[in-house]
């Protein structure tokens, strides 16, 4: 199966590598033969298409994208214009933060998350064209500023490309949801994160 690599995010001392099946436009997350995240020396780079054989091994919804690779048949080619590919082949959320995941996110201390296992989106990743600039806070987060409402929304950046000071409005952004986490109060949540931009 040909897979276009669309993201690399840090997960501990490994990479979480996301992609799109060329034949179906289905989101996939490339796991190793034993179901772990990819090592730091994994060859996959954003914008490349690889020929891979794998088994579908979905995790707990909405993290249904996991596939376990059992054969790597090699690099096929590079996509010269990833933006055009995404626009032509993928659903893109367009607007403010409320459009993400069908408006299912809750927000606490500025961070978005899912916490209702009975009201989940179809998958844990997506593309977003934000209606205003996102500002880097110099540490971990991109900030969606709403000065008139005195509220800011913050999205943790987990990509491997060095952060830029501003992601301009109109840029295609890849967002994802971290795996379920049991935090304070015993509530399971999966938090919104920013994987990259194109």
| Per-position DSSP letters for 156-183, written without gaps between them | EE-BSSPP-SEE-TT-EEEEEEPPPEE-
- pTM recorded for the entire structure: 0.93
Residue 5 has pLDDT above 90, yes or no: yes
Q: Residue 150 — very low, low, confident or very high, per pLDDT cuts 50/70/90?
A: low
**Higher pLDDT among residues 12 and 29, named by residue:** 29
pLDDT at 185: 72
Q: Which long-range contacts (CB under 8 A, 24 or more apart) does 182-187 make?
A: 187/115
Return the ∠ at Cα 33 (arms to 29 and 36), rounded to 5°.
55
Residue 15 has pLDDT above 80, yes or no: yes
Percent residues over pLDDT 90 in the chain: 91
| Per-residue pLDDT tens over the stretch 34-80 | 999 999 999 999 999 999 999 999 999 999 999 999 999 999 999 99
Residue 133 has pLDDT above 90, yes or no: yes
For the chain, give the mean pLDDT: 95
Residues 156-185, mean pLDDT to the nearest whole number? 93
Residues 65 and 85: beta-carbon distance below 8 Å = no
**Burial status of residue 152 (CB atoms within 10 A of its CB: 0-12, 13-18, 19 or more):** middle
């Amino acid at each position: 199966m040909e897979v276009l690599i669309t993201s690399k995010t840090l997960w501990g001392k490994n990479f979480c590598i996301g992609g799109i099946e060329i034949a179906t436009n289905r989101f996939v997350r490339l796991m190793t033969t034993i179901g772990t995240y990819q090592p730091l020396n994994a060859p996959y780079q954003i914008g490349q298409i690889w020929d891979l054989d794998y088994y579908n091994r979905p995790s707990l919804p909405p993290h249904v994208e996991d596939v376990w690779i059992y054969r790597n048949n090699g690099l096929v080619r590079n996509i010269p214009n990833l933006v055009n590919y995404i626009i032509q082949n993928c659903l893109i959320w367009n607007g403010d933060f409320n459009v993400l995941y069908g408006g299912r996110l809750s927000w606490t201390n500025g961070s978005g998350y899912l916490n209702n296992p009975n009201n989940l989106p179809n998958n844990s990743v997506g593309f977003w064209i934000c209606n205003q600039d996102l500002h880097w806070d110099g540490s971990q987060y991109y900030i969606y500023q709403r000065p008139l409402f005195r509220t800011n929304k913050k999205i943790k950046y987990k990509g491997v490309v060095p952060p830029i000071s501003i992601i301009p409005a109109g840029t295609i952004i890849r967002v994802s949801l971290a795996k379920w986490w049991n935090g304070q109060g015993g509530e399971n949540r999966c938090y919104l994160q920013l994987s990259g931009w194109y």
